[in-house]
């Protein structure tokens, strides 16, 4: 158990819809990262928050947005969903921005039909 909690674990929705994925980092961690893993692909970095502030953006679509709240939990919002958005979405946390050693949640599997 990494200490990072993601909900929901599975989500099935239709094209055009909007969903919110939630992440609770380890209690001591200020950094939250979101990654997308599509079929047979590596993890693609989406966005990084540190103590409530956005610090870096990766290959995140404009239809996607995220935020980190004062209690440090984070939400990833995906809107106008397309079939290609079907993927595993991982949240990871770390105590520092200076380490690549991340603690990952179990992921949220999104299926868009």
Q: Residues in the site for another protein, rule: CB under 8 A?
A: 2, 4, 31, 33, 35, 40-45, 48, 55-56, 90, 92, 94, 96-107
CB-CB contact of 55 with 48 (8 Å): yes
| Pick 2 or 77: Cβ nearer another protein | 2
* Residue 3 in tokens: 């200490």
| Pick 56 or 113: Cβ nearer another protein | 56
User: Which residues, in sequence order, are CB contacts of 1 under 8 Å at separation 6+?
Assistant: none
Rg (CA), the chain: 13
- Shortest distance, position 101 Cβ to another protein, whole Å: 5
| Pick 16 or 28: Cβ nearer another protein | 28
Report DSSP state, residue 83.
G
Kind of pairing between the strands at 5-7 and 87-94: unpaired
Instruction: Report how far residue 34's alpha carbon sits from residue 55's, in angstroms, rounded to the nearest whole number.
Output: 12
- Shortest distance, position 80 Cβ to another protein, whole Å: 26
- Shortest distance, position 68 Cβ to another protein, whole Å: 15
| Pick 85 or 94: Cβ nearer another protein | 94
């Amino acid at each position: 158990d990494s200490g990072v909690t993601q909900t929901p674990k599975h989500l099935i929705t239709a094209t055009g819809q909007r969903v919110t994925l939630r992440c609770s980092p380890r209690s001591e961690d200020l950094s939250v990262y979101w990654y997308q893993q599509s079929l047979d692909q590596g993890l693609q970095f989406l966005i990084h928050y540190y103590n409530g502030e956005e610090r870096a953006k990766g290959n995140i679509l404009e239809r996607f947005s995220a935020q980190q709240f004062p209690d440090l939990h984070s939400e990833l919002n995906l809107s106008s969903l397309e079939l290609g958005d079907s993927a595993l979405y991982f949240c990871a946390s770390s105590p520092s921005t200076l380490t690549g050693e991340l603690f990952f949640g179990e992921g949220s599997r999104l299926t868009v039909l």
